[in-house]
Structure 1
Amino acid sequence: MTVIVRDLRPDATPEIEGFIRVRHAALPYIFFSPESVRHALSLPHLRDHLRMLVAEEDGEIIGTAQVSLAQDSPEPGQGHLNVYVHPTRTGRGAGALLVRAAEEHLAAHGATHLYAWVPDEPGNRAFAERHGYRPSRSAHFLVLDLARAELPPLQAPPPGVELRTAADFADDPRPLFALDAEAGSDEPSDIETEFTDYDAWVAEYWTHPHLDLELTSVAVADGRPVAFSVAHTNGAGRYGTGMTGTARAYRGRGLAKLVKNDSLHRAHAAGYTEAYTGNDSDNGPMLAINKWFGYEIRATEVRHVRVLG
């Protein structure tokens, strides 16, 4: 049987479901939906270079790749390709074909550094290294059994701090954009992040179909948001933390714990049973907070990089 690689067709629901099935089988800690896939493909600021590829064998989708240029980095030429093959369909050449197609696309768009997240397993790491990628940093996927977890008791905010939700900023999310830009730029990463385009942020993050405004907790002080814990939900029991961050001037006061605990308690009350998050291995403070809540590391990915030319 011959494996072919082509673009995902966003108007073909069974095809999108096949894409999602492969991703969830290979990496069950990040949830996708037809709505979230179509959302990514519809973003105007990504349209020129974002590609979602599928590897197909005898009419069955057995591999996927998400390919794009880094839009939030001040450094040009930073490309992403994340390739996943269904665990029961490896060894058929799908991964190599996806990597080749992704690299050709990124090189044509001026990419000089290619970054790929690779499951921390011997076979996957060996595959990446055979294709010229070298390991860089790692990140963990963490899971909390929210149905049975004994969450820390809720605590009152410290004086001068008020707990609110992202829904309170529905008419004007710009203050949350400013907080996200500041907190996100300090996260450990191979690529410097810098949010400067408010409209692109609204399109990509604020209107994301999994963003749950009611369960996203925000700490407000001195008239502005100073900490938040961003909640993504799938409406079927799964709750994920997209980002927990604190403005620099307000760190060291326990606000990250405060907002995340508030969000987790409300997610539990709303019937969510599984909580997911991810942390860079060098993000010691957030790993410690998640351990305090009872999260357990379930898997690790290692970021690999290939320099072109």
Structure 2
Amino acid sequence: MSILLRDLRLPEEYTALAELLNTHGSEPTTAERLREDDSELYEVGHTYLDENGLLAGYDRTRKVAVTEQDKIVGYINSWRAPWTEPGYLNNILIVAEDYRRQGIGQLLLQHAAGWGEKMGADTLVTEIWDDSPESLHFAKRSGFAIERHAFQSVLTLDKVDLESAFDYELFDRLAQDGIRFITLAEEPDDEGEQKLYRLYEETLKDIPGYTGEVPVFDQWRKWYLMAEGYSPEQVLLAVHDGKHVGVSNVLYNPLTNGMYHEYTSVARAYRGRKIALGLKMKAILLAKERNAAYLRTDNDSLNEPILRINRRLGYEALRGSYRLIAKVTDVRG
């Protein structure tokens, strides 16, 4: 079979791309969402070598693998954002199941590695599902190694027994300490977002497996706070003396009627007081109010405090993912 690597033809191929991505992702996307995301990205990248000789800046390359009939059967997206760890390139590589073991994955990977090599990147990063041994075999054979292991957990909301799982008195105890729970919608837009950004600045790097820099405010607002499914009413906050000391940003996906914990954190000085548990409980109550089907989350294997809270509240483990890294020189061979 003859396979050709070429650029995406947009906008006409957004639908085909969404279909391929939906064979891999944990939450479905749409052609409209892909088009919207592209409209918010830079048109021309800008990369450079920093003072340590490591790749910095932002850029991306996207290619599709097509058959002789011009059917899309593979996809590579290799990119870095301004806050990506110096020297690193992030990658999404997908090959349609019926077309695997035919060299398409290697063709796509070599494009990403070659592109990165020309720019001065030294490390490629990607993720695969932990229940796909053939993907892991391909990755290891191509020079990748497992760096971290993360887990998905899901709470099916029609099975939740709030009376047995919830400690409703927790909210009263926290209130006695001056900690109250509100949503971002209850605060002035700019002031509330600025206070929330300061909490992210403090806590992002505490997440096991987090790499790179904290995005500047405008980039954080676009890509972290206002991710797909965002609503200020779904950004749950723990507040003390006017300061944001905890957050759980919960996203809604109308395609599945599901909700997703995009980010949950507590300021360092306030940890150990069960504020994270309170935020998780508030998220469940919110999801029940919205008649959502489920709540889903992803957590690093080393984030035991959050994993323990999830188990207590009845979350069930799903498949996880491996974070893989490889030196560009090893991939190039």
Question: Do the structures match in fold with TM over 0.5?
Answer: yes
Q: Aligned pair in 2 of structure 1 residues 166, 136: CA closer, same or farther (>3 Å)?
A: same
Residue in structure 2 matched with residue 125 of structure 1 by the alignment: 136
Q: How far did 1:38 drift?
A: 3.0
> Shift in Å at residue 161 of structure 1?
1.0
Distance in 2 (CA, whole Å) between partners of 1:37 and 1:225 is 32
- Hey, what does 1:26 align to over in structure 2? 24
Look up the match of 1:156: 171
Aligned to 1:69: 80
Residue 230 of structure 1 corresponds to 249
Equivalent residue letter for 1:62: V
Q: Which residue does 2:156 correspond to in 1?
A: 145
Instruction: Specify the alignment match of 2:64 in structure 1.
Output: 54
What is the deviation of 1:184? Answer: 1.1
Q: CA separation of 1:167/1:2 partners in 2, compared to 1, >3 Å: closer, same or farther? A: farther
Query: How far is 1:63 from its partner?
Result: 2.6
The number of residues matched between the two structures is: 304
The counterpart of 2:105, out of the listed 85, 88, 95, is 95
1:1-309 mapped onto 2 (5 Å cutoff): 1-12=1-12, 15-27=13-25, 29-44=26-41, 48=45, 49-57=59-67, 58-73=69-84, 75-120=85-130, 121-151=132-162, 152-153=165-166, 154=168, 155-156=170-171, 158=174, 159=176, 160-169=178-187, 171-172=189-190, 173-189=193-209, 192-236=211-255, 237-309=257-329
CA distance in 2, matches of 1:262, 1:272: 14
Q: Distance in 2 between matches of 1:178 and 1:109?
A: 33
In 2, distance between residues paired with 1:168 and 1:8?
42
Q: Report SS of the residue matched to 1:192.
A: coil
> How far apart are 1:298 and its partner, in Å?
1.4
Structure 1 residues 244 and 53: CA distance shift in structure 2, 3 A: farther
SS in 1 for 2:94: strand
Task: Report the residue type matching 2:226 in the other structure.
Answer: T
Query: Which letter maps to 1:115?
Result: V
Query: For the residues of structure 2 that align with 1:201 and 1:45, how far apart are their CA atoms?
Result: 15
| Structure 1 residues not aligned, in runs of 5+ | none
Classify the secondary structure of the residue corresponding to 1:50.
strand
Higher helix share: 2
Cα gap change, 1:39/1:107 in structure 2, threshold over 3 Å: closer, same or farther?
farther
Distance 1:69 1:147, change over 3 A: same
Runs (4+) off by over 4 Å:
44-47
By how many angstroms is 1:35 displaced? 4.4
Aligned-pair CA distance for 1:70: 4.7
TM-score by length of 2: 0.83
Does the residue aligned with 2:195 lie in a helix, a strand or coil?
helix
Point out the structure with max Rg over C-alpha.
2
Which SS does the other structure have where 2:159 is aligned? coil
The one-letter amino acid of 2:298's match is G
SS in 2 for 1:214: helix
Counterpart amino acid of residue 16 in structure 2: G
- Which residue pairs with 2:50 in the alignment? none
